[in-house]
Chains A and B, each alone.
Chain A
Amino acid sequence: MVNALKLIFLFVCATVFHWAFASFFARFGVSVNILLVFVTAFCALFKLPFAYSLAFVSGLFLDFFGTKLFGNNAFTFTVCACLICNIAPRFDFDEPFPQMVAVFALTWLAGILNTLLVFVFASASVWPGFFSLLGGSLIDGLCAPVVFWWVRRVLNYSSILKQV
């Protein structure tokens, strides 16, 4: 029960931070995706069922605000979750540098995959632009160590976390 409450708390915080960062950085034309940073942390630290479920729901949260297509973000986030869950055993996610690299790469993957999905299924373009995505991926990468540290702190010694 406590774990479930902690998960809900984390998800709500993730959406709040995502909203705040997206609204703030949109003024400077930067496409920040803090929810993806949280999803990366969930997938690196949580057991598989929790990681996949949270990634899917986070994607749906973003889809809720879309106008052209529904389900593209859920798909993208699930693909990202698959990747992170599979590379997590070979990555040292306790260190900040691997966290930053993973988030940087995932932001690009999510941006490109999302653009492709919207182009294929809705014949529309949601490409935010190269520099916008570059700026966003750098900011996402810089936020990654803080997000990982915080998620781990909230769920300290919880049964949701992967066994080390």
Chain B
Amino acid sequence: MSTPKHPISFKTYTGHYRRRYLLPVGFLLVSFLLMILPLDGFVSSVKAVMAYIFIPQVRVAHSAVQYAQGVSQTVQELLQAHQENESLKQEIQNARLSAIQAQEVFAENERLSALLKLQSQQPWKGVWAKVAYREPSQWNSIILDKGASQGIKERSAVIAVQDEQAALAGVVVEVNENTAKVLLVRDEEFSAAVRLEKDKGEGLLVGAGPRAVQVKYLPLLTQIETGERVYTSKSSSVFPAGILVGQVSRVHPSTAFQNSLTVEITPQVRSEAVQEVFVILGK
């Protein structure tokens, strides 16, 4: 690197390099510091301040997306309205019949539960929310368009309907006034107590990012079949019991010295397909 001979041009030269390298190096240092700091202390305060700046933008963006989606949806709906109307009328008739049947079943269930002194399961209460945002590099977390003002709290269970079945989608990990961040089942930090459908053996479901979701610590003598369904367990402190999680896709062969079984499961809810979710308020 050669320095210019003239003193004035040397000043310009150094000023130019200072401007060229000082600012990016400063920014890199700041971002490095932010990365090494724990997420709950100073960083959490920075995030809270940033929420005031960024959330209005996000709201504008979300409204724009919703509006754009609404236009195409309205056109499609108009085209399908008549056809749907006919089939829905028929479905309503069927649903009425099913509701009458269901009422009798519920009444019978309550009578039997009272006889057996079982605690009846409370229906889930909660709010429906839409996925407002998905950070491109983090497929296993989503941000919902509802937050604390709609009653959502941290550690609320989140379910989604896919292939006409309601199943566990994730858990709320951060709540702002009008948004909530959800960790999906596949995430490495996700875990839940689950039970198998047939054997009732309980284990701990853990996400594994891009790899298969696993259920660990199942009792050694548990009879497990591929395709068996997995539900949330009563012993879970976060999730209500009986929510479908997925199906067993592979059973790890047991080896000597092993004191528990591990199975791989395919979650019912695919992370990339989550669009609308139901957040359960209170377990």
Interface residues of A (CB under 8 A from B): 12, 15-16, 18-20, 22-24, 26-27, 29, 31-33, 48-49, 52-53, 55-56, 59-75, 78-79, 81-82, 85, 111, 114-115, 117-118, 121, 124-129, 132, 136
Contacts and interface: CB of A to CB of B under 8 A. Distances in A.
B24 interface: yes
Contacts of A82: 24
Nearest to B62: A19
Contacts of A124: 188-189, 209
B131 A126 contact: no
13 contacts: A52-B27, A55-B27, A59-B31, A67-B173, A69-B35, A70-B34, A71-B31, A74-B31, A114-B137, A124-B188, A124-B189, A128-B136, A132-B139
B275 interface: yes
Contacts of A15: 54, 57-58, 61
Interface in B120-144: 131-139, 141, 143
Contact of B61 (A16, A53, A114, A136): A16
Contacts of A56: 27, 30-31
A124 B39 CA distance: 14
Contacts of A65: 133, 135, 138, 141, 143, 181
Interface of B: 19-20, 23-24, 27-28, 30-37, 39, 43, 46-47, 50-51, 54, 57-58, 60-62, 64-65, 68, 131-139, 141, 143, 173-174, 181, 183, 187-189, 209-210, 272-273, 275
Contacts of B273: 27
A125 B139 CA distance: 10
Given A16-B64, A70-B39, A115 B137 contact: yes
Given A16-B61, A26-B134, A78-B24, A67 B32 contact: no
Q: Return the 9 tightest CB-CB contacts between A and B, nearest first.
A: A71-B34, A19-B61, A75-B31, A74-B31, A71-B35, A125-B209, A16-B61, A26-B134, A71-B31
Nearest to A129: B210
B24 A75 contact: no
A124 B141 CA distance: 13
Given A12-B60, A19-B58, A49 B23 contact: yes
Contacts of A71: 30-35, 43
Given A78-B31, A81-B24, A129-B210, A23 B65 contact: yes
Contacts of B275: 27
Contacts of A73: 137
A15 to B, nearest CB: 5
A61 B174 CA distance: 16
Contacts of B139: 26, 31, 126, 128, 132
A92 B64 CA distance: 34
B27 A78 contact: yes
Given A23-B134, A66-B135, A121-B36, 4 more contacts: A22-B136, A27-B275, A66-B141, A71-B33
Nearest to A56: B27
A5 to B, nearest CB: 15
B156 to A, nearest CB: 16
Contact of A64 (B20, B28, B50, B64): B50
